[in-house]
Chain A
Amino acid sequence: MRSAGRPGPGSVPGQVERGGPDGTGPAGGGGAMMRFMLLFSRQGKLRLQKWYLATSDKEKKKMVRELMQVVLARKPKMCSFLEWRDLKVVYKRYASLYFCCAIEGQDNELITLELIHRYVELLDKYFGSVCELDIIFNFEKAYFILDEFLMGGEIQDTSKKSVLKAIEQADLLQEEDESPRSVLEEMGLA
């Protein structure tokens, strides 16, 4: 009777699986490295959101609200990493803007922090000493840069030059806006 009833160590509930040494190693939930990325201001205004895992709108709103609250309540000297829900949140504040990424527990937090930094560098290079206003008024550009930098939640190109090249190439089209298509094709092929 006794042995049958004793709850085994495996039956422990509520345990968030870590990529621990006792188990299966860093086997994730099968998703990409990043779950979502948020940019929001110190006043709690969302400036940019990108979701790499299908999430319902309601859930998104709830998560954004909750996470903003948690992050904004953190003091400046505190750790840039957070355990939040079943995720790891990595955030960093640049001036008045918080950049915030959610990754899985066993992923590398520091490299994610640097990923944020690389994104900021890209924005900075593109806008030329970027500030929050640039992102407010040109958020679609910020999205384009992000899409060129991260694809499906994984880093796509670590070379700063080539990301910007791709963006600028697309931007150049703006001036050729009304020009005939064959020119565009040349641009693209160039």
Chain B
Amino acid sequence: MSDVVERTLSALPGLLGQQDPGAGPGGGPGRVSATSRLGGLIRSITALSSKHEEEKLIQQEQTNLKATVSAPTTTLRLMKECMVRLIYCEMLGYESSFGYIHAIKLAQQGNLLEKRVGYLAVSLFLHENHELLLLLVNTVVKDLQSTNLVEVCMALTVVSQIFPREMIPAVLPLIEDKLQHSKEIIRRKAVQALYKFYLIAPNQVQHIHDKFRKALCDRDVGVMAASLHIYLQMIKKNASGYKDLTESFVSILKQVVGGKLPIDFNYHSVPAPWLQIQLLRILGLLGKDDPRTSELMYDVLDESLRRAEINHNITYAILFECVQTIYTICPKSDLLEKAAKCIGKFVLSPKINLKYLGLKALTYVIQQDPNLALQHQMTIIECLDHPDPIIKRETLELLYRITNGQNVTVIVQKMLDYLRQSKEEYTIINLTGKIAELVEKYPFLLLKWFIQTMNAVFSVGGDVMHPDIPNNFLRLLAEGFDDEKEDEELRLYAVQSYLSLLEEEDTFYPQKFLQVMSWVLGEYSYLINDGDPEVIITRLHRLLKQTFVTSETKAWIMTAVTKMSSRMSCSKTIDKLIQEFSTSLDTCMRQYAFELKHLCENKELMKNLFPLDASCDEIMVDASLSFLDGFVAEGLSCGAAPYKPHHQRQEEKLSQEKALNFEPYGLSFTSNMSSSGFTGRQSPAGLSLGSDMSGNSAELGQKETNCLKLDGVRKLWGKEGYLPKKENKTGKEDKTQPVPQDSILTAHVVDPPLMQSEQQVVSLSEEEKEKQQLASTLFVGLGSNSTISLVGDFYKLQVTKFTKYETQNSEEASSFQNIATLPFSPLPDTTPNNKENFQGNEHLGLRKISLSSSEVLEASVSFETSQSVTEVGLDEQLSNCRLSTSSLFADSNIEVFQPPQNVPDIVANKAPLSLCLPEELAGHPHSEIVELCSSDILTVYWCKVWTDDCSRLVLFVANNSTSPLKTVNLVNLNIFYTSVNFFLSFCQKCVQLEKVCTEGVLSGSISYHLDTDTHLEFSLTFSLSDFIRPMKMTTEDFGRLWLSFSNDVKQNLKMSPSQGSLSVALNALKQKLKLHIVEIIGNEGIAACRLLPSVPCLLHCRTHARTLALWFRSSCSALPDSLLYQCQKVMEEA
């Protein structure tokens, strides 16, 4: 666009005087308005010289506009013009909310042109949650039904820009219809509108997934490309569910790369680059950790690399994406080689944008290929000193990833240098976090270095850094490491360094830093043998008088002073301090002063309260408040009413407001509750014991364990006042709690003097030699010979654990625990709906799966072999089991029972296989036993068993061959057999749902060893209904629970004639979803169910003229939504 003539605003007034821009060069279709009122407004604003004048002018303009838009005589045409002017005012930053409603009206009433401006104004003025937006829904619905293409397009555009989430159902069917429209532009926009819906409310568009597939196969390239946006998002969430599409994506990409698309889609003679990049991204996600899928794409990736030859930004963009994909999927050496070459091209490019991307790519691939960093080390060094801070920043990011014990000091120093120059809050937060992480990883390289670096972090990071940083630092300091002597030394050094920092008067430090200092001084100042504690107290005292110190920090300082005073006999400064603050206007300070005073009078007590170096000891707290028993008993005997908890009182109040309740309080309810394992936090009302059961607090308290260990007791002073028994530790514990920070935004940065005394790093001002030297310090420990230390230190990419162990007795049950090694990094959750995990529901968090008994039902021929094999290879290729967000079935605690190998000898006849469930499961409802996968050797059958407390997956493994099998592994499910020779065996496994979602996929593979290793892959879908169980309750209980739940969802469903009455519909739901029908009265019915283990959900439904109104309520926010979807499915099937 170099031919664009630079005409800046300074030339504007003159230009306007000479000519009408409408007749300017080119004279495109749009040039009109310079003479219009908008033109006038713009012209006069440009002519103004001060902000103040501008404000005045706009105010005047707004008054005019306000009068015009609200006048009833204003024509729509004039209104359109007003809207454009209003948009202009808003763009200048002047709010014009009076016009919003008129924008909606214009969209509603105007003709096409006016409508277009109306819609534009709405989308610019309002945000997604604006209440006025509801008024737009009707207009959108009307326009979507219009026969005019332009109107439909406008409606679709506005829907994809801004639409209220809760109104999606109103337009969804209309938009779905548009997917079949004859015009591709409409289909494309409809897909894009659905994409927007998918982003803001994924559950609502779940049922149209197959229509997305249709869109993917659309004959129009634009529609297909639009559907890729949705696929990218869906695959991000659950890659395993879309592996079957890999070949389609590959073939699309092949066609695109091969130039099969219409020439329209070329951009600078590169075919559809946006499409290519989208596809490459999708392929990367699909091929990640999946060798078989990766294999499918090697060819096309190679071709993409080859075709992208022209020296243009767009080809580099594609190359970059290719490189990323190649390094994301399972590696193939010649592709990697080519990709590495590409990265080299980027890094060495004179173009700064490409250099930046090169660094980014290096950062991305560095742990797979550290040698690449070595190749480019000189460039990296140059970039470290690059005048553009962005390049520097990315280089630091790269260095951060190659840090090891040998180069950490240099790298941290570089990062500190950068940190000192940056002022942007996000950068500071980010960098301080990284520095602190590195420093804490190698704290004992150099004691002084550790403390000094942290000092720098605290003084620069100040109050914007993450609160975990000071907390972690203090914890490290307090808990120490293995060597007690080193710990002492470290603490002593910290104390000394803080003292010298505080020596200077009137130096400003961030609050967080002061808090850290005062905690350390209070806790460890006794380590200084030669110093006078009086000096330290004087310094702290001086701080207390500073104006910049917040009251929170003052509390820290006072605690430090209190701790120190317990170790001194008497101190003039303390007396002075007490005197001074006893009359302080700050009540907190006064309180502290009085406490200190009283404590000083009783030195013995004080010594007990503040033992030396005891910040890490556990504290016992009597949470049941049993020491108050006497007091309560006395109160009760004097006629006081027994204590009722808050929620119970409220409930009683509610029930009093309702009609008289003639039923006795249902005992069955309480027993139900306890059996289904309610916990108090899940549903406070669920625990509502009848009023007769509410004893006093002591009674309830004693039911719990008498002494709770509370790690994080926060309150220094309870409501009851000063509790000497508790106080000693709580005070200290308090210091390590994350403290909500007072916002002090700009921290004046001071270089701690100590930092300057230790400059160990090479100064880079000199030439090449120095650079070489720096390179050697930076890249030390890198390279092929020491890659392991690098990779192992930082990246736990693949956790591959190989355990060998011997079992002499094969009957012995062994259990493996591998909770820690599971790489189930919680993927960022992209479903807003699912975001709320069950709070406080520990059951689900536990990720527990127990695999019990795998027995040999019938056995084998060669008994001898079985005895000889005693080695168990546990090879967990967990990298394979990257479960997607939507299918976070987790597993961890696995018990494996080895098949008893004594059994075989009784088996002689290999009777026809009868697959049946073991006795303990046979009684439960279960699905049919179906074949899952098979090969000539093995057949795997599966079956779901729905027991009361969990869903079990039972896998049957049958040996089709006559020869014995060696080690059979069920990868991902963490089941493995040692049994060499079983003929048929089964295993079961309890699957739990971690997050509420409607469907999840559990995938795994089975591998066995006959002559060669063989894999069989399979995947199973679990739906929400697998985790739903009926919940029995009475109508009264239902009513009570109903009131206590806040999350609800309503929806009307159409009923087919066959479904007829409510009871038919409800029974269908009951069967499919395992609901418990509480009662049906006329055309209304109520039902209840629970999500395992015990999250209740209530359903109220009512039929009305062929519609079924469903109303869900639950204590879990995501559950109603997902259940509704299940119901929809059931009703559709029926």
Are B390 and A133 closer than 8 Å at their CB atoms?
no
Hey, what's the 0/1 contact readout for B369-390 against A, CB within 8 Å counting as 1? 0000000000000000001101
Are B151 and A188 closer than 8 Å at their CB atoms?
yes
Least CB distance from B167 to A in Å reads: 15
Are A177 and B113 closer than 8 Å at their CB atoms?
yes
Question: Residue B192 contacts which of A85, A127, A156, A166 (CB distance < 8 angstroms)?
Answer: A156
* Segment from B222-230, B504-512, B999-1007 that makes contact with A: B222-230
On chain B, the residues within 8 Å of A18 by CB distance are 363, 397
Q: How far is the CA of A36 from the CA of B352 in the complex (A)?
A: 24
Q: How far is the CA of A181 from the CA of B111 in the complex (A)?
A: 9
Are B26 and A129 closer than 8 Å at their CB atoms?
yes
* A137-B357 CB under 8 A given contacts A56-B127, A157-B188, A184-B112: no
On chain A, the residues within 8 Å of B825 by CB distance are 23-24
Least CB distance from B49 to A in Å reads: 13
Are A21 and B4 closer than 8 Å at their CB atoms?
no
Q: Is B236 an interface position by the 8 A CB rule? A: yes
Q: Is B353 an interface position by the 8 A CB rule? A: yes
Question: Residue A108 contacts which of B111, B225, B264, B321 (CB distance < 8 angstroms)?
Answer: B321
Are B8 and A21 closer than 8 Å at their CB atoms?
no
On chain A, the residues within 8 Å of B436 by CB distance are 12-13
Are A46 and B33 closer than 8 Å at their CB atoms?
no
Are A78 and B390 closer than 8 Å at their CB atoms?
yes
Q: How far is the CA of A124 from the CA of B285 in the complex (A)?
A: 37
Hey, what's the 0/1 contact readout for A67-81 against B, CB within 8 Å counting as 1? 000000001011111
Are A141 and B8 closer than 8 Å at their CB atoms?
no
Are B832 and A16 closer than 8 Å at their CB atoms?
no
Question: Residue A13 contacts which of B4, B9, B466 (CB distance < 8 angstroms)?
Answer: B466
Interface residues of A in 24-46 (CB under 8 A from B): 24-32, 41-43, 45-46
Are A2 and B481 closer than 8 Å at their CB atoms?
yes
Are A17 and B828 closer than 8 Å at their CB atoms?
yes
Are A132 and B27 closer than 8 Å at their CB atoms?
no
On chain B, the residues within 8 Å of A188 by CB distance are 147-151
On chain A, the residues within 8 Å of B147 by CB distance are 185, 188-189
On chain B, the residues within 8 Å of A9 by CB distance are 437, 441, 794
Are B150 and A170 closer than 8 Å at their CB atoms?
yes
The closest CB in chain A to the CB of B327 belongs to A21
Q: Is B444 an interface position by the 8 A CB rule? A: no
On chain B, the residues within 8 Å of A56 by CB distance are 127
Q: What bracket does the count of chain B residues touching chain A fall in?
A: 35 or more
Are A81 and B356 closer than 8 Å at their CB atoms?
yes
Q: How far is the CA of A86 from the CA of B426 in the complex (A)?
A: 7
Are B285 and A152 closer than 8 Å at their CB atoms?
no
* A110-B353 CB under 8 A given contacts A5-B476, A54-B128, A133-B12: yes
Q: Is B231 an interface position by the 8 A CB rule? A: no
Hey, what's the 0/1 contact readout for B17-38 against A, CB within 8 Å counting as 1? 0000100111111111110001
On chain B, the residues within 8 Å of A181 by CB distance are 111
* A170-B127 CB under 8 A given contacts A81-B390, A185-B148: no
On chain A, the residues within 8 Å of B111 by CB distance are 177, 181, 184
Are A131 and B481 closer than 8 Å at their CB atoms?
no
On chain A, the residues within 8 Å of B429 by CB distance are 13-14
Least CB distance from B519 to A in Å reads: 15
* A30-B7 CB under 8 A given contacts A139-B88, A169-B150: no
Are A21 and B364 closer than 8 Å at their CB atoms?
yes
Q: Is B284 an interface position by the 8 A CB rule? A: yes
Are A30 and B233 closer than 8 Å at their CB atoms?
yes
Q: Number of A-B pairs whose CB atoms are under 8 Å?
A: 340
Are B150 and A126 closer than 8 Å at their CB atoms?
no
* A96-B199 CB under 8 A given contacts A30-B831, A111-B274, A170-B116: no
Question: Residue A151 contacts which of B112, B120, B157 (CB distance < 8 angstroms)?
Answer: B157
On chain B, the residues within 8 Å of A82 by CB distance are 390
Are A95 and B830 closer than 8 Å at their CB atoms?
no
Q: Is B430 an interface position by the 8 A CB rule? A: yes
Least CB distance from B240 to A in Å reads: 14
* A13-B27 CB under 8 A given contacts A42-B8, A177-B111: no
Hey, what's the 0/1 contact readout for A117-156 against B, CB within 8 Å counting as 1? 1101100101111111110111111011001100110111
Q: Is B93 an interface position by the 8 A CB rule? A: yes
Question: Residue A12 contacts which of B225, B434, B480, B832 (CB distance < 8 angstroms)?
Answer: B434
Most chain B beta carbons < 10 A, residue from A79, A95, A148, A159: A79
Q: How far is the CA of A185 from the CA of B189 in the complex (A)?
A: 19
On chain B, the residues within 8 Å of A113 by CB distance are 313, 317, 353
Question: Residue B320 contacts which of A13, A30, A108, A143 (CB distance < 8 angstroms)?
Answer: A108
The closest CB in chain A to the CB of B433 belongs to A14
Are B33 and A1 closer than 8 Å at their CB atoms?
no
* A1-B479 CB under 8 A given contacts A21-B797, A138-B31: yes
* Segment from B265-273, B577-585, B849-857, B939-947 that makes contact with A: B265-273
On chain A, the residues within 8 Å of B475 by CB distance are 5, 7
On chain B, the residues within 8 Å of A27 by CB distance are 236, 827-828, 830
* A120-B313 CB under 8 A given contacts A11-B472, A31-B199: no
The closest CB in chain B to the CB of A65 belongs to B93
Are B188 and A110 closer than 8 Å at their CB atoms?
no
Question: Residue A139 contacts which of B87, B357, B616 (CB distance < 8 angstroms)?
Answer: B87
Hey, what's the 0/1 contact readout for B1009-1032 against A, CB within 8 Å counting as 1? 000000000000000000000000
Interface residues of B in 751-771 (CB under 8 A from A): none
Interface residues of B in 158-204 (CB under 8 A from A): 160-161, 185, 188-189, 192-193, 195-196, 199
Q: How far is the CA of A114 from the CA of B317 in the complex (A)?
A: 9
Most chain A beta carbons < 10 A, residue from B84, B391, B437: B437
Are A144 and B120 closer than 8 Å at their CB atoms?
yes
Interface residues of B in 39-54 (CB under 8 A from A): 39, 42
Q: How far is the CA of A126 from the CA of B30 in the complex (A)?
A: 8
Are A137 and B236 closer than 8 Å at their CB atoms?
no
Q: Is B495 an interface position by the 8 A CB rule? A: no
Least CB distance from B294 to A in Å reads: 14
* A30-B199 CB under 8 A given contacts A24-B827, A156-B226, A170-B116: yes
Are A83 and B7 closer than 8 Å at their CB atoms?
no
Are B440 and A7 closer than 8 Å at their CB atoms?
yes
The closest CB in chain B to the CB of A13 belongs to B466
Are A159 and B4 closer than 8 Å at their CB atoms?
no
The closest CB in chain B to the CB of A49 belongs to B91
Question: Residue A1 contacts which of B116, B426, B430, B616 (CB distance < 8 angstroms)?
Answer: B616
Can you report 8 residue pairs joining A to B where beta carbons are below 8 Å apart? A14-B434, A108-B320, A110-B357, A130-B4, A137-B34, A143-B124, A173-B113, A188-B149
The list of the 3 closest CB pairs from A to B, nearest first, reads A128-B26, A13-B466, A14-B433
Instruction: Give chain B's interface residues, CB within 8 Å of chain A.
Output: 1, 3-9, 12, 15, 21, 24-34, 38-39, 42, 84, 87-88, 91-93, 95, 111-113, 116-117, 120, 124, 127-129, 147-151, 153, 157, 160-161, 185, 188-189, 192-193, 195-196, 199, 222, 225-226, 229, 233, 236, 262, 264-265, 267, 272-275, 277, 281, 284-285, 288, 313-314, 316-317, 320-321, 324, 327-328, 352-353, 355-357, 363-368, 387-388, 390-391, 393, 397, 424, 426-427, 429-434, 436-437, 440-441, 465-469, 472, 475-476, 478-482, 616, 794-797, 825, 827-832
Instruction: Give chain A's interface residues, CB within 8 Å of chain B.
Output: 1-2, 4-7, 9, 11-32, 41-43, 45-49, 52, 54-57, 61, 75, 77-86, 94-96, 108-111, 113-115, 117-118, 120-121, 124, 126-134, 136-141, 143-144, 147-148, 151-152, 154-162, 166, 168-171, 173-174, 177, 181, 184-185, 187-189
Given contacts A78-B352, A108-B320, A114-B317, 9 further A-B contacts (CB under 8 A): A21-B327, A21-B364, A21-B795, A28-B828, A41-B9, A52-B161, A78-B387, A79-B355, A134-B28
